[in-house]
A and B are shown apart, each in its own frame.
Chain A
Amino acid sequence: MKRWNFTPYHQQIDEGLAILGTPLPEHDTQWPEWEVFVQAKRGGPHVNVGAVHAPDPEMALLLAKENFIRREPCVNLWIVNTEDIHATASEDDALFQYTFDRTYRNTTGFKLDKPTAE
């Protein structure tokens, strides 16, 4: 069996190819992208904090943990394939703009008495 020496990774790729004697298929390291959602406390919302590249959900969770919550509080992690997220067009933000006074929809007009402490 061929013994490999301690050499940096990139120098061994040619060596590996030579050992196998057959050309390897093209490497595609551009893995799917997964959105990462962190729940800071139980019952709270899962908040999107960024994305990781990973070949599948198991690896995405594994890498998301160490990439996004090294210091931050977290009780639960979600990952979602970025392609599974459906969104409105970013340039179409006019969809959400208000052109009429909507204050009547707000509940600011209601006066709520604070409960008195016993």
Chain B
Amino acid sequence: MTDQQTTALSTMLLCLADDEYIIGHRMSEWTGQGPIIEEDIAFSSMAQDELGHALGFYTLLHELGADDPDTLVFTRDASAYRNSIFTEQPRGDYAWSMMRQFLYDGAETERLGALATSAFEPLRDLAVRMLQEERYHWMHNATFVRRLALGTEESRLRMQSALTEAFPFALGLFEPYDGEELLVAAGIAPAEDHLRRRWLDRMCPLLEEYGLKVPAHRDGDNWRVDAAPVLGGRQGRHTEHLLGILDAMHVLRSADPDAVNW
């Protein structure tokens, strides 16, 4: 791999790791407060899965020369985070959180599926292992979203509000990052535009099947989006919501940088 390719790959891994880490944190905010105890446990368990995926990406990044995972997570300022703005948004009501997971895990499944054929072997192996867990995430989220969307008048209303609000944010998952074209040319990573198209093909017909109005319409074989994507995260531009998460995560590390045994 050339130096430029390594730099581009590091950038992409940071985007993916930060996405997983921040959404995992947001999911964990439901722990102890889920709508029913069984779902509380299931959702918390999936939050841990996402944190595990984050660690996988951070570790790979470290092997390419970046700081170790703890340093990356606990010492960076918001502007150094590359997660999409989507993942840092507050948890909202359960409909919002569930819709976010559905849209996010749909994107992750498409992304990991593409990375499972990456020319970079360590990334390929990691993607294959993560896909295994994503199967359950997808089942879980699709089942909940379908039932809530087709459930009572109240649940349908909540899911529609969540979709309308979350959709433009979700498009930010496919924001281009620096060096993307180098990785695409080398067969190391898929083009974001390609993933976005696959994601729309996967999600839009399903959401319509669930009776929800998607902010997009069919145009021949493609889906054309009727909402402006919320971008910026991949360039380090974030909302105030990320600051709140980082404050909460950094407080112990700042108080005692050597606190490793606790």
Contact = CB atoms under 8 A, between A and B. Distances in A.
A12 B42 contact: no
A53 B147 CA distance: 16
B143 A58 contact: yes
Interface residues of B, number: 30
B38 A67 contact: yes
B92 A53 contact: no
Contacts of B139: 62
Interface string B150-179: 001110011001001100000000000000
Contact of B42 (A3, A9, A20, A63): A63
Contact of A59 (B94, B143, B154, B157): B143
B227 to A, nearest CB: 14
Interface string A9-49: 10010001101100010000101000000000000000000
Interface residues of A, number: 27
Interface string B51-92: 000000000000000000000000000000000000001111
A6 B90 contact: yes
Main secondary structure of the interface of B (DSSP, over half): helix
A70 interface: yes
B46 A4 contact: no
Interface in B2-52: 33, 35-39, 41-42, 45-46
A62 B143 contact: yes
Contacts of A20: 153-154, 157
B92 A66 contact: no
Contacts of A2: 161
Interface of B: 33, 35-39, 41-42, 45-46, 89-94, 96, 136, 139-140, 143, 147, 152-154, 157-158, 161, 164-165
The 4 closest A-B pairs by CB, nearest first: A66-B42, A63-B38, A6-B90, A9-B93
Interface of A: 1-4, 6-9, 12, 16-17, 19-20, 24, 29, 31, 52-54, 58-59, 62-63, 65-67, 70
